[in-house]
A and B are shown apart, each in its own frame.
Chain A
């Protein structure tokens, strides 16, 4: 009894470990559970336009880095005749285009692909020294309005964050609040908010974001409020409640001091954005991001493609083994040769079912005829099987030639079958025929084929091929299932038929 408990807890452990690894891989590496899963990504193009003055030209554009809620998949800059470099520092990333001489209207492009992620935390630690609040100067009557507004908000708040929220609420009132409407004259709400916060000794700055909408062109960046709260920069949404964070459809493009675009040797510069939504296979996305850290070190994507292909087929074998174990132990189908059906099923995967079936039946049928003739010669067993192997190979060659003449590619499909297994199958079938009669041959041969077809059907399900290869830990679960069938002491389905007469008295 104790042994049983140990066994079943071990099985449970295997299944739990398998499932948790599977979940981890899904959650951390973003490998989809379904084979056809598509992920929507955004392709954003920034176009910089300016009139060059004919001198050295240097264009410097702020580039997004770890925008909250998005992941940068790929980026490229395309601009004929310009040199391009990406310059990274602690808190910013900028792209720099340069050209010795440029004249007239210039167009520079930067394209980047972003995938949405669940990581929406917009906090960012300060680079280096904590920032100092900027000095703010007002002229009357704005100064009075600003200090009124601030002191009202200050009274009804306790922290930097709540102060920010109170200010947002007041500014959102707009016309309804006299002070706010006065201060908003000639300023955007974001600019006003930044000024007020700095006045209240809370460092704040304007960040720039891009509102993502499918198939939009000629868009410009919208300002966002970035407030230094609790030692970290935090973006505040200017929605009705003024919560911390970035709206879901906003890509934070620029989040540092300084302008988005700097152009030397040019005038009338502007940057415009266009964007479209694309769908890409989630699997490919996960592949491109497997970087050899953590779990992904144990993934098969690291191997050369050729070996991956081989493993893909190999990793299907446990499924076949599971099907055979199930069919033999629980259903009770007889097969000739325990795992011969799995090998046939593997061959079916390469030949596809119907041509494979036709080829297999043809070759075994012809082999049985020839074997009937061989039994008249007095041959030792090993020599007889060796003869059969040669005959099977010759038959394959013959069928290939005939098939080619007739325009049927039958021969090639046969070559996928394991010749030696076929020769043995023919030998066993023929002995079975002599000893037990044609009926037994039909039962065992048919049983093998049925199991092979079921194993084939299971092995070529897109979900199965996907899971076995991309989530190798699935095999722990398969292992546990096979071990469990090994403990099954109940009746086989076939025994319900076999012992049917026991019911009547």
Chain B
């Protein structure tokens, strides 16, 4: 009896330490499912992997995915290794994991599929340490490229709608050519500037900006150059056009030559007046500044996209006393032009200049479409902000970038 009582007392003292000697078995509970599917809206090189969270996830556990070109393996190529508490699917509230991988990086040759598109087989493994491994089912997928990115559908619809609006107003302008256009002081001042240069007998300087012919602002600048060149030819003033890009140079030479021809003054065209100043930013600035100071140009036109050189050009021109008209869609340089130039066309006014100067109904029609589109966007902005404030994100969703 005494021995039984002693054993009982000893076991009470030994009980807290019994776990130290007992063998622990931490069983990993693998995820209940594992899916592999073609990543939507891509070029066919990406595969998406998705699986539900496991109850035994911890910071010590990892998910490892092995891939193979054959269903029966071998699964020796490791394509993914993540901590089990990471890479949750957005919006799943940590209930699912989601990853996109490019299996082509790991395999150089295609699979045995007869249609030539490789199929990939994936095996998900959950690991805590080398002794504890859980294995899930095999998932397979044949990725393929998509012909339309559905995430950009809203963008596409807006593009088609705006294009239809522009074309409709262009057609409408043919029937009703007297469209109202608000006054743009900078463009009205072009004639004054050219007249001033003619009276002073000094040349007019035209600067395109630093972008190439692929930039819309340069195309708009070249359009304006054509219209200015016609008036310069009529006034018999010298026009100097400095260029930084050789393609823009070729186009400018052609545009100015044709403008002189249209004005009936082909003899007045001097090819050396449309020249390449330099091919780099600051050498170009130095060359143009030198021209302004040496030749004392009476009127300077800065039309196009500018970078850091804008203030140097505009200040140098202001120091020589020239009348300066600038037009740029570069919002970082607008403050410099506004403070140093006599007139500045802001942003889209550069694109509208061609229509404004020519007053062609077809071009004016597109300006009306631009204004209507802006009105729609402003309405959407105000409505969207108000609705988003009360928790309705419908308009935000409509305009979400894909």
* B partners with A: no
